[in-house]
């Protein structure tokens, strides 16, 4: 989310609309989040909504792009911090996972949810370009984490047979699954614990201990 102090009044309204819509989508799904309830909570007219978004699909696309940009800004910051602490690719990745677990553990009410997952569950509602964005979002996760794993494997040959694409995807499945479990069990600590379990698996694969 952008710093509201740097935004114009119109940009602040656009961000407010997206904030309200994202909360609705994460809590009850895209189909159940109506334009009428968004504009009522935002305190704007319907014409005010359509000034910023031509339709609900346009809103969905803007929401997803903002989510992807924000997500990778967070990951890039964590990776930079981890790389500053260690030049060793394995130790840096382990630090990153520890920082990621700590970050998700510090959220007072647990992780709000994954917007990409919410879109996938109701992808038939969206245009092809929005569906392609959700697919690309997961491919970005795979590429970025695979790049890290390739650097690790070049220095630390895996102790067991492993597909590095699958291992990269595993962090996505652990994260999304951890979010679902945390919400279902009403235990916010489940997600960071699952990330730490993945971290332990990475250690076992490349160090054997």
pLDDT, residue 196, reads 97
CATH number given to 1-53: 1.10.10.60
Q: What is the mean pLDDT of each run of 10 residues along the chain (209 residues)?
A: 66 94 88 92 93 92 91 93 98 98 81 78 80 87 95 96 96 91 90 96 94
pLDDT, residue 5, reads 57
**How many other β-carbons are positioned within 10 Å of the β-carbon of residue 198?**
19
pLDDT, residue 127, reads 80
Q: Which of 79, 54, 62, 76 is nearest to 2 (CA)?
A: 62
pLDDT, residue 108, reads 64
Residue 58: left (phi > 0), alpha (psi -120 to 50), or beta? alpha
Domain boundaries, the chain: 1-53, 67-207
pLDDT, residue 110, reads 63
Rounded CA-CA distance 115/134 in Å is: 9
CATH homologous superfamily for 67-207?
A: Tetracycline Repressor, domain 2 (1.10.357.10)
The phi and psi torsions of 87 (rounded to 5 degrees) equal -85, -10
Residues 6 or more apart in contact with residue 83 via CB below 8 angstroms = 92
pLDDT, residue 128, reads 86
Same fold, 1-53 and 67-207: no
Helices (H), the chain: 9-28, 35-42, 46-52, 56-85, 89-105, 115-121, 128-155, 164-185, 190-207
CB 104 within 8 A of CB 192: yes
pLDDT, residue 1, reads 47
């Amino acid at each position: 989310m952008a710093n509201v102090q740097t935004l114009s009044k119109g940009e602040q309204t656009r961000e407010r609309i997206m904030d309200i819509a994202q909360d609705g989508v994460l809590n009850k799904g895209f189909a159940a989040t109506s334009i009428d309830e968004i504009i009522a909570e935002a305190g704007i007219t319907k014409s005010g909504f359509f000034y910023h978004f031509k339709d609900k699909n346009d809103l969905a696309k803007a929401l997803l792009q903002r989510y992807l940009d924000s997500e990778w800004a967070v990951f890039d910051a964590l990776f930079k911090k981890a790389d500053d602490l260690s030049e060793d690719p394995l130790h840096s990745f382990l630090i990153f996972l520890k920082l990621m677990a700590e970050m998700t553990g510090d959220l007072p009410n647990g992780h709000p949810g994954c917007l990409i997952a919410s879109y996938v569950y109701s992808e038939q509602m969206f245009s092809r370009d929005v569906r392609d964005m959700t697919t690309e979002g997961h491919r970005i996760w795979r590429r970025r984490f695979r790049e890290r794993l390739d650097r690790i494997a070049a220095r630390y040959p895996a102790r067991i047979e492993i597909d590095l694409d699958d291992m990269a995807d595993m962090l996505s499945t652990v994260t999304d699954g951890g979010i679902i479990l945390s919400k279902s069990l009403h235990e916010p600590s489940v997600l960071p614990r699952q990330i730490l379990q993945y971290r332990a698996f990475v250690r076992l694969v490349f160090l054997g201990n």
